[in-house]
Structure 1
Amino acid sequence: MPKDIIEDLDRRVLICDGAMGTMLQEKGLPVGVYPEEWNLSHPEKVEEIHRAYIEAGSDIIQTNTFGGNCIKLASYGLEDRVYEINRKGAEIARRAAGDKIYVAASVGPTGQFLQPVGELTFEDMVEAFVDQVRGVVEGGADAIIIETMYDLGEAKAALQAVRQICSLPVICTMTFETSLRTLMGVRPEEAVRELWSVGVEVVGANCSLGSEQMLKVLQLMKEASPEARLIVQPNAGLPIYEGGKTVYKETPETMAAFAVQYKELGVRIIGACCGSTPDHIRAIRASVSSG
Structure 2
Amino acid sequence: MTNPSGPGRDILALIEQRPRLMEGAMGTLLAAKGLACENTGERNLTHPEAVADIHRSYLDAGAEVFQANSFAANRRMLERAGLGGQVAEIQRAALRVLRGAVGDGYPCGVNLGPTGGLLEPYGDMPRDEAVGIYCEQIENQLPEGPDFLLFETFEALEELEAALEAAQDVAPDLPKLACVSFSSPNGRTMMGVDGARAAERLIELGADVVGTNCGHLEGLKIGLREMLRVADRPVMAEPNAGIPTLVGSETRFAGTPEQSAALARELLDWGVRLVGGCCGNTPEHIRAMSGVVNA
Q: TM-score, normalised by structure 2?
A: 0.93
Q: Is the 8 A contact 1:83 1:134 kept in 2?
A: no
**Which runs of at least 4 in structure 1 moved beyond 2 Å after TM superposition?**
212-217, 242-245
The total of aligned residue pairs comes to 287
1:148 aligns with one of 144, 148, 153: 153
Match of 2:21 among 15, 23, 39: 15
For the Cα contact (< 8 Å) 2:182–2:219, is it kept in 1? no
Verify the 8 A CA contact 1:15 1:271 in the aligned structure 2: yes
Counterpart check, 1:198 vs 2:167: no
Q: Is the Cα contact below 8 Å between 2:25 and 2:281 reproduced in 1?
A: yes
Contact 2:134 2:163 in 1 (8 A): yes
Instruction: Please state whether the residue corresponding to 2:210 is helix, strand or coil.
Output: strand
Residue 129 of structure 1: how far off its partner (Å): 1.4
1:123 alignment counterpart: 128
Which residue of 26, 34, 55 corresponds with 1:28?
A: 34
Cα distance per residue 1:7-65 (max 9 Å; x no partner) = 121111110011111111112214x4421111011100000000000100111111110
- Give 2:61's aligned residue: 56
The 1-side partners of 2:132 and 2:214 are apart by: 25
Q: Does 1:92 align with 2:93?
A: no
- Match for 1:219 among 225, 237, 243? 225
Q: Percent identity?
A: 37
Provide the secondary structure at the position in 2 that maps to 1:264. Answer: helix
AA of the residue aligned to 2:213: N
Aligned partners of 1:216, 1:125: CA distance in 2, in Å?
A: 29
Give the secondary-structure state (helix, strand or coil) at the position aligned to 2:17: coil
The whole-number CA distance in structure 2 between the counterparts of 1:208 and 1:190 is 17
**Equivalent runs, 1:71-90 vs 2, <5 Å:** 71-90=76-95
Unaligned segments of structure 2, at least 5 residues: 1-5
1:160 aligns with 165
Residue type of the alignment partner of 1:208: G
Alpha-carbon RMSD: 1.5
Matched, 1:208 2:215: yes
Match of 1:231 in 2: 236
Contact 1:89/1:139 (CA < 8 Å) preserved in 2? Answer: no
Separation in 2 of the partners of 1:203 and 1:255?
21
Which whole-Å CA distance do the structure 2 matches of 1:43 and 1:103 have between them? 16
Contact 1:208 1:238 in 2 (8 A): no
Aligned-partner Cα distance in 2 for 1:274–1:33: 16
> For residue 59 of structure 1, what is the amino acid of its counterpart?
E
Match of 2:3 in 1: none
Q: Which moved more, 1:3-12 or 1:228-237?
A: 3-12
Deviation at 1:140?
A: 2.4
The answer to whether the 8 A contact 2:182-2:190 is kept is yes
Is 1:263 the equivalent of 2:268?
A: yes
Amino acid paired to 1:217: G
CA positional deviation for 1:242: 2.6
8 Å Cα contact 1:108/1:147 also seen in 2: yes
